[in-house]
Structure 1
């Protein structure tokens, strides 16, 4: 049964809060939905009262697209059912589940699929936008493992899209975002992973950044697909695992996940250990623990962006590290992720995403506390992107960016795939009811 919440309700502020504290939107109504019938009721109410619609699951959209002002938010968080078929290596996951919940259920059977690197991220939103995670170089993105999606369309119809029916809608859901309906359930292919893997973090003081970054670039660029690593420029947090002398200091770190033969993984990691990290937390650990290693608490202000690269030269590394040394906030993280492997093997037409052969993704991830610092942190991201532009390929992974305009959306898909998405949008949502996303406008509104 739909539960309605509006301004004045005791839990209104709690229920409207999003991960990004910069977003302070005040919807007229929040509809907490237990299933498709509740979603249909909420859509009918939105049409009746002429309210704009947003769909909220994990609430991690950095642009705040999980909410709106004076509209109606369809909150699918109550849809938490998870069914694991260990023999068939399949999972059916409710539209309100987070990756932490999904991982915990699948790991009981030593299974997983590529999921987000932050455990509180919603499964649906991440998958619909592509789904980058530690396992991607061996098993592809989350969307590459999506077998079926169940959703409620703008006109209230319940639809299942799979290999046998509504194949166009399944294709569009593999990276085309939440443009086509309210997702109530997803089905995934699972893979043997863990429950114990080799993973963790190594860190050095930033005085070693150039040496470590170049070694990481060469090491990761040629690494086996079982390795999922990332280079991170950050500030040493006040945590027990960070020596006191490094707390509050600029660091360069490598986070990694190895899901292959343990002995081979140790041999691979030794290349980094030869650089004598001042923090070495890499070892056997539960996969589910690795999945929450980068979790940040909600309540901070966020502004992110990203770009694809066909290669990452020394000059590109110099620009990356210079930006990392001049972050506007000590809470900001500056990331470099290697792609390749299974991501590049996916047929070019299998998903809406373009440039699947990109080798690297740069990801400035600005995080700060006070509104007075908004301009400085936005400027830091934009200035890095400007300096980085000569080294980029023009493509982008939309889950890593905020609202950067239509041209960036089109760059994520390429002209032909974008036109195909417009045609599918025009069929399933001709009135653009689902516009609170990286929006693909139907033909009448394009």
Structure 2
């Protein structure tokens, strides 16, 4: 559809309401033949190109100005083989689609923590999630991918076919082709999972953060330890007096049989004097969608992150102090713990460049009022800049906005793998058909 189509404004909108781009043409693909036709048209006419999967990427990379959008959002089929423990997932699927299909067989694969997150975008950027310490990143669980490359050819990328492309697609993000299907390995999990979630008063945030840091490093790899400085949005069962109030929250999700979780989750409630206990057991599908309500479609988002080897006391004090000055209570700082299965893969076995980091610190500006745009972005950038001396790199999926791509973002996200990724891109797209996408992190 073009700019004169009645659905144009709806079709160009993405999850992040901060993004307001105007493509020249958007093609909603019905099958792989449509994708091939789009790539051939792009090779002939050379417009800027963007590829839309779930449309959930914070940077808004699904849409471009004055170019061609190859829209896969209608391609959402998930086919599970419960015997082989694999799932074939189309390029427009969301994690809600995957979790619903795999949980029918008591299986799961590492995915995002918001159910409407697109499978393609998250996976191609690495794929942090609750299962990462137990079973690795999303990209670590890929068996193969079907890719339409810049010459219009359909290629299978796996350890045995087009291995260099397979290597790059696991963590290097966009600009390598249009991935129309992913095949993931699955693991037994669910239907129920247990999680600890203890809320602490803001004046205890520093002490609780320090205690959580020790607990997170020592936790078994069946635990996903998280820490957040936030203000809880309203949801059923939450006392009114806690809604919108700054808090610290320590979370641990057990990736295994919920009946075995209590002993390893109990310490999350002993980091201080909690004011609220939100711990409990839920289905895996519920756990994977627990933050959906707080991150609605059309909200305004600006997220930047650092991978860090350590969080010393100075960094913790800096994070706690800066979080207290956020311009909107919906904004947050989320800290996720790595290690375990993430580090069982070599640092150069995939394009994901941050094996060995202990933590990811994500500075998440979240707001609704456009009048807060400048203040919210400045707040996130301010903390990100202050933490940069202790950083070992940035998560590609939480890298700010595409407009910041020239500020050394590629090196921060790809690290030592940057040159090798660039060479793979040249090999599969020598004419730069996906050049506009490749320029983005």
Confirm whether residue 95 of structure 1 aligns to residue 83 of structure 2: no
Secondary structure at 2:89 match in 1: strand
Superposed CA deviations along residues 246-271 of structure 1, whole A, max 9, x for unmatched, are: 11210111233202354542112222
Secondary structure at 2:382 match in 1: helix
Confirm whether residue 281 of structure 1 aligns to residue 278 of structure 2: yes
Any stretches of 5+ residues in structure 1 without a counterpart?
442-446
Structure 1 residues 313-352: aligned runs within 5 Å: 313-352=312-351
1:434 Cα deviation from its structure 2 partner: 1.8
Superposed CA deviations along residues 362-400 of structure 1, whole A, max 9, x for unmatched, are: 10010111222111111111110222223323x121111
Structure 1 residues 379-390: aligned runs within 5 Å: 379-390=378-389
The number of residue pairs the alignment matches comes to 435
Structure 1 residues 175-324: aligned runs within 5 Å: 175-199=171-195, 201-262=197-258, 264-274=260-270, 275-295=272-292, 296-324=295-323
Indicate if the aligned counterparts of 1:179 and 1:437 stay in contact, CA closer than 8 A: yes
How far apart, CA to CA, are the structure 1 residues paired with 2:55 and 2:229?
A: 25
How far apart, CA to CA, are the structure 2 residues paired with 1:405 and 1:183?
A: 22
User: TM-score normalized by structure 1?
Assistant: 0.93
Match of 1:444 in 2: none
Any stretches of 5+ residues in structure 2 without a counterpart?
none
Indicate if the aligned counterparts of 1:398 and 1:438 stay in contact, CA closer than 8 A: no
Match of 1:425 in 2: 425
Q: Select between 273-282 and 193-202 the one with higher mean Cα deviation.
A: 273-282
How far apart, CA to CA, are the structure 2 residues paired with 1:440 and 1:376?
A: 24
Match of 2:107 in 1: 111
Go from structure 1 to structure 2 and tell me whether the alpha carbon gap of 1:156 and 1:228 turns closer, same or farther (over 3 Å shift). same
Secondary structure at 1:272 match in 2: helix
Match of 2:10 in 1: 14
1:99 Cα deviation from its structure 2 partner: 0.4
Go from structure 1 to structure 2 and tell me whether the alpha carbon gap of 1:327 and 1:30 turns closer, same or farther (over 3 Å shift). same
Indicate if the aligned counterparts of 2:192 and 2:283 stay in contact, CA closer than 8 A: yes
Indicate if the aligned counterparts of 1:199 and 1:283 stay in contact, CA closer than 8 A: yes
1:139 Cα deviation from its structure 2 partner: 0.6
1:200 Cα deviation from its structure 2 partner: 5.7
How far apart, CA to CA, are the structure 2 residues paired with 1:8 and 1:88?
A: 47
Secondary structure at 2:140 match in 1: helix
How far apart, CA to CA, are the structure 1 residues paired with 2:422 and 2:388?
A: 28
How far apart, CA to CA, are the structure 1 residues paired with 2:388 and 2:413?
A: 16
Indicate if the aligned counterparts of 2:110 and 2:135 stay in contact, CA closer than 8 A: yes
Indicate if the aligned counterparts of 2:109 and 2:184 stay in contact, CA closer than 8 A: yes
Indicate if the aligned counterparts of 1:309 and 1:358 stay in contact, CA closer than 8 A: yes
Q: Select between 140-149 and 427-436 the one with higher mean Cα deviation.
A: 427-436
Superposed CA deviations along residues 388-415 of structure 1, whole A, max 9, x for unmatched, are: 223323x121111123435221232234
Secondary structure at 1:399 match in 2: coil
1:276 Cα deviation from its structure 2 partner: 4.2
User: TM-score normalized by structure 2?
Assistant: 0.94
How far apart, CA to CA, are the structure 1 residues paired with 2:385 and 2:177?
A: 35
Go from structure 1 to structure 2 and tell me whether the alpha carbon gap of 1:371 and 1:126 turns closer, same or farther (over 3 Å shift). same
How far apart, CA to CA, are the structure 1 residues paired with 2:180 and 2:160?
A: 19
